């Protein structure tokens, strides 16, 4: 898997908050943002899998 550059513009207040969260986690801002995006992507895929399972088996075993 290769890597690609992503550039984004955020306001100073949000960047300060992200910096504080990253520092509390002992991470760089870049690593913190990537970890957050990966976690969010996993959450979405997991939720989709649960929904698909519910459709396959019937919601809540009904």
Q: What is the pLDDT of residue 43?
A: 87
Q: Write out the chain's pLDDT in tens, 62 residues.
A: 688 888 989 999 999 999 999 999 999 999 999 999 888 888 888 889 988 988 888 866 55
Q: What is the pLDDT of residue 41?
A: 86
The residue length of the chain stands at: 62
Map residue 59 onto helix, strand or coil.
Answer: helix
- Interatomic CA distance for residues 61 and 46, integer angstroms: 19
Is the pTM for the entire model greater than 0.75? no
Helix residue ranges per DSSP H, 4-58:
12-24, 29-57
The angle formed by the CA atoms of residues 5, 35 and 38, to the nearest 5 degrees, is 85
């Amino acid at each position: 898997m290769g890597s690609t550059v992503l550039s984004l513009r955020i306001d100073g207040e949000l960047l300060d908050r992200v910096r504080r969260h990253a520092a509390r986690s002992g991470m760089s801002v870049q690593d913190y943002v990537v970890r957050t995006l990966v976690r969010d992507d996993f959450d979405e895929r997991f939720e989709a899998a649960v929904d698909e399972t519910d459709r396959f088996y019937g919601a809540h075993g009904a």
